[in-house]
Copies of this chain bind each other. A is one copy, B any other.
């Protein structure tokens, strides 16, 4: 089984502009060295810049379902695709969407050959997201996001429960887990609980040395 790691830069200054490029280089180097898949989700204005200069899979942090047309300020799937993104987070806990918009956005990603990662907050919403047939669901209990307490330790049942619920509804959907993940043992625990990867942010982006932190993250797999 391949492991998938997705690094979310959020709007951290440490992950903005030139800093996003440096983080992307760290992702690329560690991915090559450790033989795992590591993708980065910089801020939307940074997608082109990162994708142009670093050979790493780039995800958008959000897309709107909006198609071409009169949609000022909306994030159009073809714009992020042409900027170099290969996938997108949708419905992150910091950018919740309506159910109808999640479905439209997941469909727009699929229609453009891009990967979709629907973020969810508990077992029930993970099951619902799986019914939409995305590539990934990423279960992140909001109260643990940015807490430094890994979901795999604080609430292992939400991970195993999500995996079970997803497999019943659509076994092709892969489960990521997030919230509080930053160390090798967190990733290892997540995989043992049935997740196929992790979504993480501050633990790496705000680390003293992000590349070292990424090496630690992949050290036990």
Contacts and interface: CB of A to CB of B under 8 A. Distances in A.
Interface string A35-72: 00000010111111100000000001110001111111
* Residue of A78, A124, A201 with most partner-chain B CB within 10 A: A124
Q: Which of A11, A122, A130, A201 has the most CB of B within 10 A?
A: A11
Interface stretch (A88-96, A148-156, A182-190, A212-220): A88-96
Contact of A82 (B18, B68, B120, B128): B18
A93 B96 CA distance: 17
Contact of A45 (B11, B83, B91): B83
Contacts of A201: 70, 72
Contact of A49 (B10, B48, B67, B101): B48
A133 interface: yes
A16 interface: yes
Interface of A: 8, 10-13, 16-18, 41, 43-49, 60-62, 66-76, 78-80, 82-83, 85, 89, 91-103, 107, 120-122, 124-125, 127-133, 145-146, 165, 169, 201-202
21 contacts: A10-B72, A12-B69, A13-B78, A16-B78, A16-B82, A17-B79, A18-B82, A41-B72, A45-B47, A61-B72, A61-B73, A73-B92, A73-B94, A74-B94, A93-B100, A96-B100, A96-B101, A99-B128, A103-B125, A131-B165, A169-B169
